[in-house]
C-alpha cells in the first residue's frame, strides 16, 4: 500500500529481523534488518509499545505504524493501515497517486463481504491450520481453506485481471501477501498441502504472477520470500528451513497469458 500510493516521502519502513525471538520481534544486522532502530536505537519492537504506553500488556505485533512527532503508535492493525494509506495523505500526493483508491465507495459492500471469508479461511486460515495442535483443529481449518481457494479460482474463471474484476482493490493486496507465501512457506511448514497454488490453481497463479512481475515496484520489491520462509521455519521446534519448492516463486513464463 505504501508503494502503491507513493508514500515513501512521508513514511519510512524499518524492518525487524525475520526470526520471532523470546521477547518478540527484534533488530539484528542481517538481511533487511538494521542492528537497531535508526530513530531511538531500540533493539526490540516491544520498546516502541512501551514508549507509547509504559503499562502496555498485550501482544507486540507487526505491522506497527509509528508517529515520530507524537512518539506513539498510530495503528497496528494491517487492515486498518491499508485504509489509512488509501486516503489519509491524498491532499499531499500528486493527482495520479491521490486517485488510486482500493476501497471505492461503490464496491465497499462487495469488498467487505469477500474480506470476511478470505480473512477467516485464507489469511488467518493458514495460521489456524499451521498452528493447529490437534487433528480436529487441523481438519476444521484445512478444508475451509482449500474450499475458499476453490471458490476464488471459480470466481476468476472468466479471466478477470483482479479478484473483483477489472479494478485492483484491497482484496488483491490482502490476498497477494498470503498467496505469494503459500507454496514456498505454508504448504510445507504449515501443512496446508492439499494442493499448491502453482499446480492446482491456474487462475490464481496467473493473477499472482501478474501482480508480482507486472507491478514489480509494488509487489516484487516488497516480497522477501527467502526471509519469510526462514521466519516461518523458526515457529517450528527445530527451526529447520525446508529447501523447496524451487523455484520459490515460479517464472512469469510458467503460465499462459
Ligand atoms: N491484527 C494484526 C495481527 C498482526 C500479527 O499477529 N502479527 C504477527 C506477525 S504476522 C506478530 O507480530 N506476532 C508477534 C507475536 O505474536 O509475538 C494485523 O493483521 O495487523
Is residue 167 within 8 A of residue 104, CB to CB? The reply is: yes
If one residue of 1, 15, 62, 82 were mutated to test the ligand 1 pocket, choosing by the most ligand atoms within 8 A of its CB, it would be 62
The 8-class DSSP code of residue 247 comes to: S
pTM above 0.85, yes or no: yes
- How many Å lie between the centroid of ligand 1 and the Cα of residue 61? 4
16-65 per-position pLDDT tens digit: 999 999 999 999 999 999 999 999 999 999 999 999 999 999 999 999 99
Provide the residue count of the chain.
257
Is residue 52 within 8 A of residue 35, CB to CB? The reply is: no
- Owner of C-alpha cell 515457529: 235
C-alpha cell recorded at residue 11: 513514511
- Spell out the domains of the chain, with CATH numbers in brackets: 2-93 (3.40.30.10), 105-254 (1.20.1050.10)
The protein residue whose alpha carbon is closest to atom 2 in ligand 1 is 77
Q: How far apart are the first and last CA of the chain?
A: 26
Q: How far is 24 from 149, CA to CA, in rounded Å?
A: 31
Q: Could you tell me which of 238, 137, 152, 257 has the C-alpha nearest to residue 195?
A: 152
Residues with CB under 6 A from ligand 1: 20, 24, 59-63, 77-78
**Which ligand 1 atom is nearest residue 61's CA?**
12
- How many Å lie between the centroid of ligand 1 and the Cα of residue 74? 16
Local confidence band at 252 (pLDDT 50, 70, 90 cut-offs): very high
Query: Residue 179: is its pLDDT beyond 90?
Result: yes
- Owner of C-alpha cell 497454488: 197
C-alpha cell recorded at residue 229: 520462509
Q: What's the mean pLDDT in 224-239? A: 93
Query: Residue 236: is its pLDDT beyond 90?
Result: no
Other Cβ atoms less than 10 A from the Cβ of 63: the count is 12
Q: How far is 184 from 144, CA to CA, in rounded Å?
A: 20
Is residue 250 within 8 A of residue 209, CB to CB? The reply is: yes
Amino acid at each position: 500500500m505504501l508503494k502503491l500510493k507513493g508514500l515513501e516521502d512521508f513514511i519510512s519502513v524499518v524492518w525487524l529481523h525475520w526470526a520471532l525471538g523470546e521477547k518478540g520481534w527484534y533488530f539484528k544486522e542481517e538481511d533487511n534488518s538494521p542492528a537497531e532502530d535508526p530513530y531511538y536505537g531500540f533493539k526490540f519492537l516491544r520498546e516502541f509499545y512501551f514508549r507509547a504506553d509504559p503499562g502496555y500488556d498485550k501482544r507486540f505485533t507487526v505491522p506497527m505504524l509509528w508517529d515520530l512527532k507524537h512518539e506513539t503508535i498510530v495503528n497496528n492493525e494491517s487492515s486498518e493501515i491499508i485504509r489509512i494509506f488509501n486516503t489519509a495523505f491524498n491532499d499531499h500526493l500528486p493527482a495520479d497517486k491521490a486517485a488510486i483508491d482500493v476501497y471505492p465507495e461503490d464496491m465497499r459492500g462487495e469488498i467487505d463481504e469477500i474480506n470476511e471469508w478470505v480473512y477467516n479461511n485464507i489469511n488467518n486460515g493458514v495460521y489456524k491450520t499451521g498452528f493447529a495442535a490437534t487433528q480436529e483443529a487441523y481438519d476444521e481449518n484445512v478444508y475451509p481453506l482449500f474450499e475458499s481457494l476453490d471458490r476464488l479460482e471459480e470466481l476468476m474463471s472468466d479471466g478477470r485481471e483482479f479478484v473483483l474484476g477489472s479494478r485492483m482493490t484491497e482484496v488483491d493486496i490482502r490476498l497477494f501477501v498470503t498467496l505469494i507465501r503459500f507454496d514456498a512457506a505454508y504448504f510445507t511448514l504449515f501443512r496446508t498441502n492439499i494442493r499448491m497454488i502453482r499446480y492446482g490453481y491456474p487462475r490464481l497463479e496467473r493473477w499472482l504472477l501478474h501482480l508480482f512481475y507486472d507491478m514489480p515496484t509494488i509487489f516484487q520489491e516488497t516480497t522477501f520470500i527467502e526471509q519469510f520462509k526462514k521466519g516461518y521455519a523458526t515457529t517450528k521446534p527445530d527451526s529447520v528451513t525446508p529447501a523447496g519448492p524451487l523455484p520459490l516463486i515460479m517464472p512469469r513464463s510458467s503460465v499462459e497469458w
